[in-house]
Chains A and B, each alone.
Chain A
């Protein structure tokens, strides 16, 4: 079962990019407290994204002709691993690079590629993804935002919600209905590029339980788009979205969200001079799990590099990876609570509190556990 899913090495040329990414990440987080770094791919810093882009570290998987690095998915794996483990604020360019640019490359017109991809690679054009709506979460096929064909373009009405980074983004790639009705399910949905500065677009940030405003509601009131807004084929948006999700679900970002907390806890344990067996077991188990997940993510990356779309395997990485991310605050909290005699750095306490609060989102964003397991079950032939 899943026997083509096999561990692969990172090519040396890609591994060689590590040092540059590490230096830039280290500079960006130099004076940042741990709980800010823990926000990582929720941390918005346009200036840092620009620096990364100009250093050639954004869009490594994209062709050089469009301003990319002309490398493969392993190059991106190395960069992502370094940025996330340092807790660098990568939110600004994150979605544009991970999903929007590869999507445009695969399904977009030549004009669309030329217009958007170079800016994304420079770390200057920021995208968000408009999928969820008030009544369409996991059930994406029931989206109700609708674009009517008018003359040479579209008139868009409707609403998106929980859109990550909408407030700071230049464009949204929105999944909307362009034909048929919600009863047609996956047919009749299309992906449109929406310039968020257009008249009729209203963005309202939503405050999360930790006090941050990374996601937002986005309203469309008779927003007029020209015909170049359509990505790929009218009515085939669903198939395009599915292909895109393998990029979203397989990467280190599904494993590393709590790694700073693990590093912080390890530092605490060392400072406290612990040598007991319970601490050793806790640490050993987490490190072994981390290693096995990294191997799985590398195996997914190898499939992406081979031009495959590892939808099922990526779902496995994300389901197990986010369980690991969510176990870290539980286990670290339990351990620290076992040692009330130890002084805990307030920075570590704040990070623990933040991760514990926000970690339920790890297994929501990019597809819930239940949806992912359904995809895996289909891959096993159960449905």
Chain B
């Protein structure tokens, strides 16, 4: 999975920078500038930037493990978003700032908006980077409505090579990112749930021994694994995720989001509801990432409209558009 060898150092850096205490502090107010400076200095924010502009020129397949790690560590800053924004700007021959950048996709909510210095929007097919002021930044969380591409199938051929200005590549990339963040956080929630179930004694034995609980956790893990596979499908050709595969990844991850959070909270009982327990650091983010850029029905509609008139049998359609 980690063919580049980048996962280890990246994950170690996240573990150092984002303890649960730090995540809570960031949620309470402005982050320590040193945190972002460390991220910026690490070079990882340029992972997707082309080599000509001094980036690492990694593929999405290589970056997917990093996105998953961001979810697994409940990272509260728009790190993945900034990676994608920098790549888009660099590809378009534009300069980019050092600070956190949000992806201005059509969305009810944009997680991390309160900490973003700027927002990258695609206005009538052109990339538009706007700086945000402190107060204004918070309102970016709602009401952003930016047009999306209407033609997902014909764009498959272009996946891998961004369009000149990259505007149309933003929504699929953002969808894949949010899906991966859900999967990463979902994996963390599953691991916490297993640990807790083995420790918590009720009726004289660990609750892990209860079949009902075992069955529920098995189901939750199936959904998280399915969502990871959908993410892997979206990055497997090496280039940028195609609209159809990214849509599918976000849809499957959004389904998994509710399953895994409900089951994990049910298993943790009241302690999982308490603010000081770390479970909510993950489950709150999973819900936000589910809604960001559209949840199940949004993407189901996008996929469906694209293929309603398609005459190919389902297997051929899926093979040719999503696995070739």
Residues of A within 8 A of B (CB): 1-7, 9, 81, 85, 256, 259, 262-263, 266, 269-270, 274-275, 277, 279-285, 287-296, 299, 313, 316, 319-320, 370, 372-374, 376-377, 380-383
Contact = CB atoms under 8 A, between A and B. Distances in A.
A299 B197 CA distance: 29
Contact of B229 (A274, A282, A299, A383): A299
A376 B232 CA distance: 21
Contacts of A296: 225-226, 229
A85 B315 contact: yes
A265 to B, nearest CB: 10
B305 A280 contact: yes
B215 to A, nearest CB: 4
B222 A291 contact: no
B236 A288 contact: no
Nearest to B306: A284
Interface in B291-324: 296-297, 299-309, 311, 313-315, 317-318, 322-323
Given A284-B247, A288-B251, 7 more contacts: A1-B190, A259-B314, A287-B304, A291-B233, A295-B230, A376-B221, A380-B217
B225 A280 contact: no
Contact of A292 (B211, B248, B313, B314): B248
B314 A2 contact: no
B208 interface: yes
Contacts of A281: 297, 300-301, 304
Contact of B221 (A1, A3, A274, A289): A1
Contacts, number: 164
B304 A280 contact: yes
A294 B318 contact: yes
A330 to B, nearest CB: 16
Contacts of A370: 211, 215
Contact of A380 (B218, B229, B248, B305): B218
Given A1-B190, A288-B247, A291-B248, A320 B226 contact: yes
B176 interface: no
Contacts of B219: 319, 373
A309 B233 CA distance: 23
Contacts of A374: 211, 214-215, 218
Contact of A284 (B223, B230, B307): B307
Contacts of B307: 283-284, 287
Contacts of B1: 3-4, 6
Contacts of B116: none
Contact of A319 (B222, B299, B302, B306): B222
Contacts of A270: 308-309, 311
22 contacts: A1-B221, A2-B225, A6-B1, A85-B315, A263-B314, A266-B314, A270-B308, A280-B301, A280-B305, A281-B300, A281-B301, A281-B304, A284-B303, A287-B248, A288-B230, A289-B252, A290-B314, A292-B233, A316-B225, A316-B226, A380-B218, A382-B208
Contacts of B315: 81, 85, 256, 259
B302 A1 contact: no
Which residue, B190, B211, B214, B227, has most C-beta atoms of chain A within 10 A? B214
A380 B194 CA distance: 7
Interface of B: 1, 187, 190-191, 194, 197-198, 208-209, 211, 213-215, 217-219, 221-227, 229-230, 232-233, 236, 245, 247-248, 251-252, 296-297, 299-309, 311, 313-315, 317-318, 322-323
Nearest to B207: A382
Contacts of A292: 226-227, 229-230, 233, 248, 252
Nearest to A283: B304
B225 A381 contact: no
Given A288-B303, A381-B194, A279 B308 contact: yes
A282 B297 CA distance: 9
B318 A291 contact: yes
Contacts of A279: 304, 308
B304 A282 contact: yes
A377 B226 contact: no
B229 A295 contact: yes
Given A292-B233, A294-B323, A320-B226, A285 B251 contact: yes
A379 B198 CA distance: 14
A5 B226 CA distance: 11
A162 B85 CA distance: 58
6 A-B pairs with least C-beta separation: A280-B304, A284-B303, A284-B304, A377-B214, A284-B300, A376-B218
Given A295-B233, A380-B194, A288 B313 contact: no
Which residue, B297, B299, B300, has most C-beta atoms of chain A within 10 A? B300
B243 to A, nearest CB: 12
B318 A290 contact: yes
A319 B44 CA distance: 38
A24 to B, nearest CB: 16
A1 B191 contact: yes
A377 B304 CA distance: 35
Contacts of A277: 301, 305
Contacts of B194: 380-382
Contacts of A288: 230, 247-248, 251-252, 299-300, 303
Contacts of B226: 292-293, 296, 316, 320
B74 to A, nearest CB: 17
A58 B40 CA distance: 56
Nearest to B313: A263
Contacts of B232: 6-7, 295
Nearest to B191: A1
A299 B230 CA distance: 11
B315 to A, nearest CB: 4
A262 B317 CA distance: 13
Contact of A283 (B197, B214, B308): B308
Contacts of B221: 1-2, 316, 376, 380
A287 B314 contact: yes
A259 B318 CA distance: 12
A296 B315 CA distance: 15
B46 to A, nearest CB: 26
A371 B214 CA distance: 11
Contacts of B224: 1
A377 B210 CA distance: 11
Contact of A274 (B198, B223, B308, B311): B308
